[in-house]
């Protein structure tokens, strides 16, 4: 309970500070951000400055609810509450930090970085502002595959790959396939590998489950599953008319 009381006290104080930021001019508060960032934050500050007392109270209610959910470990629900509050008052450094941390807990590193940066800029001398600065440093370090979001994993699959494996050979230009993103951001695959089992047929029916990719060779009754083992290597197996171990390396 004491943790919530302390947070609530700091949250109320932060709300007062955020409105002071909005009324006094953002550039005086955050030092020297990049021009584009300063302009974006200035617009957020203007929105907060125009809030009515009722809107300020509504935002605070959402922030307290979000913190309750964050403490309970329900990070998906906490995201909803913090976002609703930040949609009303976007310059609260405490709420921006906890929203960013809730996103990080669900492996949305890109989204987390955005709100950590906002918290660090809006509240550089607050507890959450300092924690946001530390979080941004951690996010700049290389990340393990297990800690990546599905979107980050998807991005690693994008590129040209040379296939190899048992019954498939060791991989060369004749066994190349390409994974790309379509207009919707979904993974698509193309290529005509001429391996022993492939017979020059194209890949089709590709699916991505958030970690692995699955596809088949048209007309060959072969189904492959690959998973990333590094930024330039995928491993897996193929099943159907034949079976074996498969791998591919990124060019």
Give DSSP secondary structure letters for 39-58: HHHHHHHHHHHT--HHHHHH
pLDDT of the residue at 6: 59
Identify the top-confidence range among 91-100, 140-149, 241-250. 91-100
Residue 103 tokens read as: 């996103």
- Judge if 211 and 130 occupy the same domain: no
How does DSSP classify residue 195? Answer: -
Q: What is the mean pLDDT of residues 33-54?
A: 77
DSSP tally for the chain: helices H, then strands E: 9, 8
What's the rounded Cα separation, in Å, for the pair 224 and 222?
7
pLDDT of the residue at 31: 35
DSSP assignment of 84-113: HHHHH-TT-HHHHHHHHHHHHHTT-HHHHH
- Judge if 119 and 220 occupy the same domain: no
- Judge if 167 and 137 occupy the same domain: no
Parent domain of 201: 150-250
> How many independent structural domains does the chain possess?
2
Q: Which residue has the tokens 């951000």?
A: 33
Residues 4, 10, 14, 15, CA torsion sign: positive
pLDDT of the residue at 173: 66
Q: What is the mean pLDDT of residues 222-231?
A: 86
Does the structure show a pLDDT above 50 at 22? no
- Judge if 21 and 132 occupy the same domain: yes
Residues 122-179: pLDDT tens digits? 999 999 999 999 999 999 998 888 888 888 899 999 998 888 766 555 656 667 788 8
Half-sphere exposure of 236 (CA within 13 A, CB side): 18
Does the structure show a pLDDT above 90 at 210? no
Q: Lowest-confidence range among 5-9, 69-73, 136-140, 197-201?
A: 197-201
What's the rounded Cα separation, in Å, for the pair 14 and 35?
24
- Judge if 217 and 243 occupy the same domain: yes
Q: Which carries the bigger pLDDT value, residue 62 or residue 194?
A: 62
pLDDT of the residue at 238: 79
- Judge if 52 and 119 occupy the same domain: yes
User: Of 117, 141, 165, which residue constitutes the final position of a domain?
Assistant: 141
User: Of 124, 141, 158, which residue constitutes the final position of a domain?
Assistant: 141
- Judge if 160 and 118 occupy the same domain: no
- Judge if 111 and 209 occupy the same domain: no
Residues 135, 140, 144, 147, CA torsion sign: positive
Assign residue 122 the CATH number of its domain: 1.25.40.10
- Judge if 68 and 129 occupy the same domain: yes
- Please provide the average confidence, as pLDDT, over all residues in the chain: 80
Does the structure show a pLDDT above 50 at 34? no
Assign residue 231 the CATH number of its domain: 2.40.128
């Amino acid at each position: 309970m004491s943790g919530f009381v302390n947070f609530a006290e700091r949250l109320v104080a932060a709300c007062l500070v955020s409105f002071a930021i909005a009324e006094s001019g953002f550039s005086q508060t955050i030092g020297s951000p990049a021009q584009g960032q300063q302009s974006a934050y200035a617009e957020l500050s203007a929105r907060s400055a125009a809030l009515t007392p009722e809107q300020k109270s509504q935002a605070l209610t959402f922030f307290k609810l979000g913190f309750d959910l964050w403490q309970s470990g329900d990070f998906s629900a906490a995201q909803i509450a913090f976002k609703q509050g930040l949609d009303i008052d976007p310059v609260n450094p405490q709420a921006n930090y906890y929203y960013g941390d809730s996103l990080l807990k669900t492996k949305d590193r890109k989204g987390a970085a955005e709100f950590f940066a906002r918290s660090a800029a809006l509240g550089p001398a607050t507890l959450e502002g300092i924690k946001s600065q530390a979080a941004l440093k951690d996010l700049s370090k290389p990340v393990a595959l297990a800690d990546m979001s599905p979107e980050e994993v998807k991005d690693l699959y994008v590129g040209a790959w040379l296939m190899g494996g048992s019954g498939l050979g060791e991989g060369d230009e004749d066994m190349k396939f390409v994974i790309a993103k379509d207009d919707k951001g979904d993974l698509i695959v193309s290529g005509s590998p001429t391996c022993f089992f492939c017979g020059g047929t194209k890949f089709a029916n590709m699916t991505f489950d958030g970690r692995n990719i699955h596809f088949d060779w048209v007309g060959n009754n072969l189904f492959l599953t690959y998973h990333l083992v590094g930024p330039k290597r995928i491993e897996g197996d193929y099943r159907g008319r034949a079976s074996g171990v498969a791998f591919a390396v990124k060019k």
